[in-house]
Chains A and B, each alone.
Chain A
Amino acid sequence: MFFKKTLSTNKQEKEKSKDADNIIPTNRERMSLEFRRRLQNSADIVETEVPGTGITLFYFHTLIDMNLLHKDIIEQIKNQSFHSIENIMGQLSVGIMDKTNQMDKVIQSAIGGHVIIHLEGADKVIYARIASNTGRALSNAINESQVIGPQIAFNESLSTNLSLIRKYIADPNLSIEDIRVGKRTTTAVSLIHIHGIANQQMVDILRDRIKKINMDGLIDSSVLVQLIEDNSLSIFPQMVLTERPDRICSWLLMGKLVVMVDGSPQAIACPQSFLEYFQSMEDKNVNWQVATFLRLLRIFALFLSVYFTAIYVASLTFHYEVIPQTLLIPLSESRARVPFPPIMEALIMEFFIELLREAAARLPTKVGQSMGIVGGIVIGTAAVDAGFTSNILIIIVALGALASFTTPNYSMGNIVRVLRFPIIVLAGFWGFYGIMFGFCFILIHLLRQSSLGTPFLTPFYPPRLADWKNSIIRLPLTFTAKRPNQTRPEDVDKYNPSVAKEKE
């Protein structure tokens, strides 16, 4: 099952001659030669002969745990004699091991962190997994940090990540499916869903999409997203990446599908709606009034950040009539010394803010902070003093940038910032008409998108009133006893609402 894909492609290439070559040589010398030849005579190949047994171990010393090798394998079999490999297997106490007579399999296992146990004269070899765990320990969620709720984040090891999920959801129906992606990297990709909740049709579609990928290597889940989402030409991502196991688990329980990639600390979840990018895990952990307030705040921030600068530009360039009398004089005073038209002024300032942000993100944390101070205060004030921009614009641009940071999802936050630029340009050329044109375009574009076949703007369109209870507002848990229609779940009820209400 594991290597079905690789095997089948290999077979097609070198059909007949290969079949014979693929059998394991019983002779140790020939085995060694063949092993080294296939692995390009790599410098980290080690051959260890276990004294007095006729057993030779083949492995990459860079991939396996040397302690385990000694303790669990060499110590167990040394100074004994074996007649068959089955005997050896009986002696070993390694969890994952098997035997094979196929050379391809041997090579794959060796790459995957197995040690190959070769007994002189036997027609099969054992491969036992004692891979070393190089990687970092679990740490706090930094990109999606929150105050209330679990603090842990995924790391780069797939098995650790899966164990985190298993810990949250101890359900026999949790299904983890292994798929290999990448001709050369053969990266392990896990497709996770809860059987009985997730829509089986969606699972099939997603599995199909992952299997159809034909590329040489897959390093990170963010690349996988671009390969499997519905419309990768759109600026909006239709599948979400998260580093929070609690988030993934709550989504699994909603009936969503999760894809994890070995070596990537971020899991993919889908189907995802546009609105969910503006929901945070924390919304579930605080009480519903506060959660509703925060969600409304974020939606307001979205509009503020995309349109505020554009409205400034449009009003000052075309529609001076709409400026209230009280703002008229301060606005004209601050604009009087600026040598550029509003659109240039706004674009320069936005560009400046983006530079600051990007620079701060690339620098080490401590330097980044001082960077913000230098940029924000020193250059900002200097720009106004020099008559480079108006101070009102600085406030507006800063507010817009601040608002864009409230977006809980990092990639959506980036998109919100990028969207601002075309809108400003439109506003600078055609005023309110241009802004509205941009708005309509984005609206139609969003309506055209789907995530795994689910409309992207759900639950607003197609309207599912029942799901509005947990959208830009969040009602108490007793009101949201059903799973959202978005995932078309096979089991609709999260819990029985009547029971949940009876607290006394």
Chain B
Amino acid sequence: MDIQYQPKPQLLLSTFLVFFIIHDIQVGVGIQGFQRIIFLEAKQDAWISVILSGILTHMIVFIMIKTLQYYGSSDIYGIHHDIYGKWIGRMMNCLYIFYCLVTSLVILKNYIEVIQTWMFPQVPTWFLSISLLLLVVYGVTGGIRVIVGVSFFNIVLSMWMLGLIGYPIRYSDYTHFLPILESNIPAILKGTFKMTFTVIGFEILYVIYPHLKEKNKVQKFAHLAIAITTILYLLLMLLAIAYFSSGQLEKSIWVTLSLFKIVKLPFIERMEYIAIAFWMLIIIPNIMLYLWAAVRGMNRTFNINESNFIWIFSLILFISSLFLNTRMKINTFNDKFALAAFYLVYCYPIILFVFVLIKKKIKGFKEKQI
């Protein structure tokens, strides 16, 4: 396979769209209930964990883009091939494809869980799973432009939800934040670690990078996206701490959705029902992007036709979604996934970067000798 990958001009995307891609894929499923997980670790200082995780993410993204820039126009599959050679490279690629699929599964399954708890306890999982995957397949077969289009519209169209935050603000008690820095540093860091599950998604850069038009501007927009996401998470974290008392926060599963519970408009009440349904628009592009990344990986690694794998992978997702059927299983799965994601998303880029550096050094050394 070729290490370099140059997509056709009509498949190139304006660089600023990377902002929408990253912001959208980060704000996926974790946002519905991350506050509780962090709060359990860092108590009222949980918001510091959020900021720290934002800073950490900035650093990782910086390293990721630096790694990619060494290759000009390549993705992680090409880099793997270059660094590890044919066979190990293929193995690593398979691992990455597997990771993408598992992430799609986590997103899909968590959304289905919300729907079943909140709206339709009777609707079977297979139905929700199929209906969502049909939309996903329809989008992914349209190509990268359509996928990015959905994530763009998702962000533009879900802006109104920010307005809903105004309601819980009225019931907020800001003394909940005090005393600041009461938790010890390890607890806050542990909270940061727990944020992983919520903020992952930016690793899509590894795959989407060759599709961006102006590579030198990627840093700017990627960091902007991370910053906005962090601000959003920070806002929701602060709000959750201020609105709920500590005992409540430790008990509620989907804190963000519970925040919407008190929104009451003259013509409609109980905004969380609308928000949950609307969440579909937020979920769909996320699954699409991951599925696309997986399919692209198959194409790059084994040179196989993409369109068949869209169907095959969806089928795999569908079948595995049926097995995760109880809250316990989902939670265990989420926890294990969060741990794996931490290593793959936060630790691995650094290792890869070092490898790339070494490789380039050796290559430069060899060239000099010749």
Q: A residues near B, CB below 8 A?
A: 318-319, 321-327, 430-433, 435-437, 439-441, 443-445, 447-448, 455, 457, 460-463
Q: B residues near A, CB below 8 A?
A: 13-14, 16-17, 115, 119-120, 123, 128, 131, 135, 138-139, 142, 145-146, 149-150, 152-153, 156, 264-270, 273-274, 276-278, 280-281, 284
Which of B128, B146, B281 has the most chain A CB atoms inside 10 A of its CB? B146
Contact A457 B149 (CB under 8 A): yes
Contact A444 B273 (CB under 8 A): no
| Bound CA span A390–B128, Å | 32
Q: Which residues of B contact A325 (CB under 8 A)?
A: 269
Q: Which residues of A contact B115 (CB under 8 A)?
A: 433
Q: Which residues of A contact B138 (CB under 8 A)?
A: 441, 444-445, 448
Q: Which residues of B contact A322 (CB under 8 A)?
A: 268-270, 273-274
| Bound CA span A437–B111, Å | 14
CB distance from B44 to the nearest CB of A (A): 32
| Bound CA span A419–B231, Å | 38
Contact B270 A432 (CB under 8 A): no
CB distance from B342 to the nearest CB of A (A): 31
Contact B119 A432 (CB under 8 A): yes
| Bound CA span A435–B273, Å | 12
Q: Which residues of A contact B145 (CB under 8 A)?
A: 447, 455, 462
Contact A437 B150 (CB under 8 A): no
Known: A431-B120, A433-B119. A444 touches B280 (CB 8 A): no
| Bound CA span A441–B264, Å | 29
Contact B269 A433 (CB under 8 A): no
CB distance from A316 to the nearest CB of B (A): 13
CB distance from B16 to the nearest CB of A (A): 8
Q: Which residues of B contact A447 (CB under 8 A)?
A: 139, 142, 145-146, 149-150, 153
| Bound CA span A319–B275, Å | 13
CB distance from A307 to the nearest CB of B (A): 12
CB distance from A231 to the nearest CB of B (A): 11
Chain B residue at minimum C-beta to C-beta distance from A321: B270
CB distance from B59 to the nearest CB of A (A): 29
- Dominant secondary structure at the B interface: helix
Contact A432 B273 (CB under 8 A): yes
Besides A322-B273, A444-B135, 12 more A-B contacts (Cβ < 8 Å) are A319-B273, A321-B269, A324-B267, A324-B268, A430-B123, A440-B280, A444-B139, A448-B146, A461-B149, A461-B152, A462-B13, A462-B17
Q: Which residues of B contact A444 (CB under 8 A)?
A: 135, 138-139, 142, 146, 150
Chain A residue at minimum C-beta to C-beta distance from B139: A444
Contact B280 A433 (CB under 8 A): yes
Which of A441, A444, A457 has the most chain B CB atoms inside 10 A of its CB? A444
| Bound CA span A254–B182, Å | 64
Chain A residue at minimum C-beta to C-beta distance from B284: A440
| Bound CA span A447–B141, Å | 12
| Bound CA span A290–B115, Å | 42
Chain B residue at minimum C-beta to C-beta distance from A457: B149
16 interchain pairs, CB-CB under 8 A: A322-B269, A322-B274, A324-B265, A324-B269, A327-B267, A436-B281, A437-B131, A440-B150, A443-B150, A444-B139, A447-B153, A448-B138, A460-B156, A462-B14, A463-B14, A463-B152
Contact B280 A431 (CB under 8 A): no
Contact B280 A436 (CB under 8 A): yes
Q: Which residues of A contact B278 (CB under 8 A)?
A: 436
| Bound CA span A443–B157, Å | 11
| Bound CA span A65–B17, Å | 63
| Bound CA span A321–B272, Å | 10
Which 3 residue pairs are nearest across A and B when measured between Cβ atoms? A432-B277, A447-B149, A448-B142
Chain B residue at minimum C-beta to C-beta distance from A447: B149
CB distance from B249 to the nearest CB of A (A): 24
Known: A433-B277, A437-B135, A440-B135. A324 touches B266 (CB 8 A): yes
| Bound CA span A444–B281, Å | 10
Contact A437 B280 (CB under 8 A): yes
Known: A318-B119, A462-B14. A432 touches B268 (CB 8 A): no
| Bound CA span A432–B119, Å | 9
Q: Which residues of B contact A430 (CB under 8 A)?
A: 120, 123
CB distance from B119 to the nearest CB of A (A): 7
| Bound CA span A436–B119, Å | 13
CB distance from A412 to the nearest CB of B (A): 20
| Bound CA span A321–B273, Å | 9
| Bound CA span A295–B42, Å | 50
Q: Which residues of A contact B281 (CB under 8 A)?
A: 436, 439-440, 443
Chain A residue at minimum C-beta to C-beta distance from B280: A436
Q: Which residues of B contact A319 (CB under 8 A)?
A: 119, 270, 273
Chain B residue at minimum C-beta to C-beta distance from A463: B152
A432 contact from B139, B267, B274, Cβ within 8 A: B274
CB distance from A347 to the nearest CB of B (A): 21
Chain B residue at minimum C-beta to C-beta distance from A445: B138
